[in-house]
Amino acid sequence: MNMKKLIFMATLMLSFTQVRSQVTVDAELKDLISKSIEYFPKLKEAELGYEAGQQRLDIARSAYFPTVSLNASYLYVDPVSEASFPVGPNEMKSLKFQPNNNYNATVGFNYPVIDFGRALYYVRKSNEELQQSRLSIELNKAQLAAQVANIYYSIIYLKQAVSIEDTVLNYLGNNKNVIESRLKNGDALQLDLLNIQSTICQEENRKVDLQNLLQKQTNLLLYTTNQNTMNSSGSFSFPQVAANADDALQMMTGNTEYKIAESKIKAQQLDIKLNRSTQYPIISLNGAAGYRNGYQPDLSEMVFGGQAGVTLSAPIFTGNKSRNSVKLSQIQLKQNEQGLESVKSVYKRDINQTFADIDASNARLLNMETQISQATSANKIASSRYINGVGTHVDVLNTISNLQKAELAKINYQYQLCLSRVELARLAGVVYY
């Protein structure tokens, strides 16, 4: 049985390593994500939360050690008890049982030797909560990486869209020159010139809209990475980390939200044990050593002494606090278990939806190749017919419009496919940064 487990774990690790080795992204994208992780304030907040969790764990571990304290006191008492004793014929001597000035300076310790797991469960729970803080950092990193990747590919998409607009405007400008030349020769109508000028204005406005969107994405890049430039034009080359939905569902345990939900359940189970342990007694060793006065025959003399003992502290009635705390922890455990089921359900929904988007984008891209080829051919034919005087300018405008729409649609589908792959990597918990 152990050998089977080892083989299974080795296979699992090998498959995970293979997935990780296939996940390569643009170097510039990795650099931008790295800069955002260093810069983004929200991530620094999560890191401070982890440091606070580490301190809470250290506080919990202090329960394993004895408590040592220094106590010093002064007490003036008046009157004090005293008695007279005969010490000779007709002679009496007064004897005090306590000095008026009482001094005490001791070092004491208390060490719980048996607490029925109270300290152990407290430390384990704190450690589990620390793991949640660490996972929260990883979750923030994954979400930040996905956000930067979305911005990165949005900028690539908008740059390519602007480039297509430039090509269209250049084509329309050349076409306008042809019309102006033919208008001088009487082979074209003023209406043709007005139409193409109107079309150029429309395309210029569309280019302005795209440039405005590009500037907004650049501003977002500055917000997340403290950098507002991208050197590379890039491409929609983000890898697909799973072949289908079934493969992706097997990667659910790598999802950070899933890990956090599991950790919450473990922490709550420990909280139940911790609350139950408060119903049991604590057996402690205690002792003290130091100086104090008040000893005969000289009550004012400071005398060194010590004491040691065992203390049993057992709760008898606490207003049902422990029992109610256990019930509350059990309810919270069920709540966290439902939270894990909710994470699973959302994960399955998002995985299926992501693959539906991937399949749709792939199908659209196949259709777009044919559409672009047909639109290109139609534009060449219409341009040739117009130059030879057997076609109309309206035909040329229609074909260039169709070609532009097809090319924009193609890069849009490539962009949507790339974003779906980014989302798939985030859901699967794959680290690509």
Which amino acid makes up residue 228? N
Evaluate if residue 4 carries a pLDDT over 60.
no
Report the CATH number that the domain containing residue 407 is assigned in CATH: 1.20.1600.10
Rounded Cα–Cα distance for residues 351 and 359 (Å): 12
Over the stretch 78-110, which tens digit does the pLDDT of each residue have?
A: 888 888 877 777 777 778 888 999 999 999 999
Rounded Cα–Cα distance for residues 165 and 178 (Å): 20
Residue 162 is assigned to a structural domain of this protein: yes
Residues 168, 87 share a domain: no
Residue 8 is assigned to a structural domain of this protein: no
H and E: helices and strands count for the chain: 9, 6
Q: Which of 295, 314, 333 is the last residue of a domain?
A: 314
User: Which of the two residues, 52 and 12, has the higher pLDDT score?
Assistant: 52
3-state DSSP assignment of residue 312? strand
3-state DSSP assignment of residue 57? helix
> 382: domain range?
17-65+115-280+317-428
Which amino acid makes up residue 287? G
Residues 153, 300 share a domain: no
Residues 132, 38 share a domain: yes
Residue 227 is assigned to a structural domain of this protein: yes
Residue 11 is assigned to a structural domain of this protein: no
Rounded Cα–Cα distance for residues 122 and 321 (Å): 18
Find out whether the peptide bond into 79 is cis, omega within 30 degrees of 0: yes
Residue 32 is assigned to a structural domain of this protein: yes
Residues 294, 205 share a domain: no
* The pLDDT of residue 8: 34
Rounded Cα–Cα distance for residues 208 and 201 (Å): 11
Rounded Cα–Cα distance for residues 359 and 245 (Å): 11
Rounded Cα–Cα distance for residues 143 and 152 (Å): 14
Residue 433 is assigned to a structural domain of this protein: no
Evaluate if residue 16 carries a pLDDT over 60.
no
* The pLDDT of residue 255: 92
8 Å CB contact between 395 and 375: no
Evaluate if residue 127 carries a pLDDT over 90.
yes
The total of other beta-carbon atoms located within 10 Å of residue 28's CB is 14
Q: How far is CA 244 from CA 23, 57, 346, 354, in A?
A: 16, 42, 17, 10
Across the range 395-403, mean pLDDT stands at: 82
- Quick one: pLDDT band at residue 18, thresholds 50, 70, 90? very low
Residues 305, 330 share a domain: no
Residues 93, 45 share a domain: no
pTM above threshold 0.85: no
Residues 190, 258 share a domain: yes
Q: What is the CA radius of gyration of the chain?
A: 40
Residues 33, 134 share a domain: yes
* The pLDDT of residue 13: 40
8 Å CB contact between 398 and 407: no
Rounded Cα–Cα distance for residues 356 and 424 (Å): 11
DSSP 68-119: EEEEEEEEE-SS--EEEEEEETTEEEEEESS-SEEEEEEEEEEEEEE-TTHH
Residues 239, 120 share a domain: yes
Residues 175, 119 share a domain: yes
Q: Which of 261, 294, 314 is the last residue of a domain?
A: 314
3-state DSSP assignment of residue 292? strand
Structure-token pair, residue 323 = 């029992």
* The pLDDT of residue 233: 67
Rounded Cα–Cα distance for residues 249 and 350 (Å): 10
Residue 39 is assigned to a structural domain of this protein: yes
DSSP for residue 239? P
Rounded Cα–Cα distance for residues 222 and 216 (Å): 10
Residues 332, 260 share a domain: yes
Q: Which of 314, 330, 357 is the last residue of a domain?
A: 314
Q: For the chain, what is the domain count? A: 2
Q: Look at residues 401, 407, 398 and name the one whose alpha carbon lies nearest to residue 163.
A: 407
Q: Look at residues 314, 274, 330, 318 and name the one whose alpha carbon lies nearest to residue 119.
A: 274
Structure-token pair, residue 15 = 């498959």
Q: Which of 47-51, 211-215, 325-329 has the lowest mean pLDDT?
A: 47-51
Residue 210 is assigned to a structural domain of this protein: yes
Structure-token pair, residue 276 = 């139950």
Count Cβ atoms within 10 A of the Cβ of residue 171 and give its class: 0-12 exposed, 13-18 middle, 19 or more buried: middle
Residues 321, 310 share a domain: no
* The pLDDT of residue 343: 95
